[in-house]
């Protein structure tokens, strides 16, 4: 049964891959061409030739890496703040956090741009990599919920041993939240890696562009270079798949160890 379901999930991905190897016309063939008779690996070569693919990849790695570090470090601190401490007005602050998630980005886009413009950051990577260091609502929310599941007994025990809040954070909460942290990091990575609009708006030098913008360059005004676009999309997903495999280790560990032991 698991196998049947996996076909449902994998099939479109397989289709992307086979499309990336087709000739342009084969993409639209009906009845559909499941696997091209002539696998054009040259489509992938086209990607590197047409675009400064390596540079775009490095740019994207830089932006994603910095963003990831920023979000994870700051958000875990803030999530701990929300979860562990009793602070007057905490409920309202948390509501504000959720509200920041609930506003559609289309209407905050322009004022946000104006803000960064006044700071003089347009044309640099700063609008993309600095705000993450001040926490991300999604990550804070996720991590707080996970921190909430950690039984109080653990931190009480650590307090008895003389640990202060910082030590509790580092030695109790963080280790117990490895799956949550791995998951959160994964999502942030995916979101930033494939983000198109934010790099587009804030970067002015096309040498600084990221992969998602670069892939747009493959199409002319009336034709989209489907095989190459699919190929580019697949290459973009490879790092994510690798990360996912690595992240899974934390889950597997859990299963073998059997969850939290008192």
261 CB-side CA count, 13 A: 6
Structure tokens at 44: 């992938």
Nearer to another protein, 39 or 204 (CB): 204
Q: Which of 35, 45, 145, 161 binds another protein (CB under 8 A)?
A: 145
DSSP assignment string, 158-219: HHHTT--HHHHIIIIIHHHTHHHHHHHHHHHHHHHHT--HHHHHH---GGG--HHHHHHTT-
> Which of these segments, 9-17, 36-44, 56-64, binds another protein (CB under 8 A)?
9-17
Based on the shown chain and the rule CB under 8 A, indicate whether residue 230 belongs to the binding site for another protein. Answer: yes
Based on the shown chain and the rule CB under 8 A, indicate whether residue 92 belongs to the binding site for another protein. Answer: no
Query: What sign does the CA torsion over 174, 178, 183, 185 have?
Result: positive
Smallest distance from another protein to CB 62, Å: 19
Smallest distance from another protein to CB 65, Å: 17
Q: Is the peptide bond before 31 cis (omega within 30 degrees of 0)?
A: yes
Q: Which of 64, 140, 188, 227 binds another protein (CB under 8 A)?
A: 140
CA distances from 82 to 11, 94, 205 (A): 42, 8, 40
Binding mask 232-251 for another protein (x = CB under 8 A): -x--xx--xx--xx--x-xx
- Residues binding another protein: what is the number (CB under 8 A)? 125
Based on the shown chain and the rule CB under 8 A, indicate whether residue 87 belongs to the binding site for another protein. Answer: yes
Based on the shown chain and the rule CB under 8 A, indicate whether residue 60 belongs to the binding site for another protein. Answer: no
Label residue 259 left, alpha or beta by phi (over 0 means left) and psi (-120 to 50 means alpha).
left
Based on the shown chain and the rule CB under 8 A, indicate whether residue 125 belongs to the binding site for another protein. Answer: no
Structure tokens at 70: 């920023």
> What residues from 16 to 45 belong to the interface with another protein (CB under 8 A)?
16, 24-25, 27-32
């Amino acid at each position: 049964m698991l196998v049947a379901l996996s076909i449902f999930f994998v099939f479109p991905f397989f289709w992307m891959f086979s499309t990336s190897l087709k000739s342009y016309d084969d993409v639209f063939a009906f009845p559909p061409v499941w696997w091209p008779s002539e696998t054009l690996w040259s489509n992938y070569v086209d990607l590197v030739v047409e675009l400064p693919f390596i540079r775009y990849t490095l740019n994207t790695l830089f932006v994603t890496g910095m963003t990831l570090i920023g979000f994870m470090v700051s958000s875990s601190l803030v999530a701990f703040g929300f979860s562990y401490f009793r602070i007057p007005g905490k409920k309202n602050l948390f509501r504000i956090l959720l509200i920041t998630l609930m506003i559609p980005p289309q209407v905050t886009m322009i004022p946000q741009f104006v803000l960064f413009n006044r700071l003089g950051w347009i044309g640099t990577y700063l609008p993309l990599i600095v705000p993450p260091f001040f926490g991300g609502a999604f990550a804070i929310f996720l991590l707080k919920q996970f921190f909430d599941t950690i039984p109080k007994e653990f931190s009480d025990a650590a307090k008895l041993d003389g640990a202060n809040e910082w030590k509790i954070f580092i030695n109790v909460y963080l280790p117990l939240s490895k799956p949550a942290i791995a998951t959160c990091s994964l999502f942030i990575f995916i979101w930033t890696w494939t983000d198109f609009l934010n790099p587009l708006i804030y970067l002015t030098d096309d040498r600084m562009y990221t992969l998602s913008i670069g892939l747009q360059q493959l199409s002319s005004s009336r034709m989209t270079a489907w095989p190459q676009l699919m190929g580019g999309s697949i290459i973009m997903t490879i790092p994510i798949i690798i990360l996912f495999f690595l992240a899974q280790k934390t889950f597997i560990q859990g299963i073998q160890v059997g969850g939290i032991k008192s």
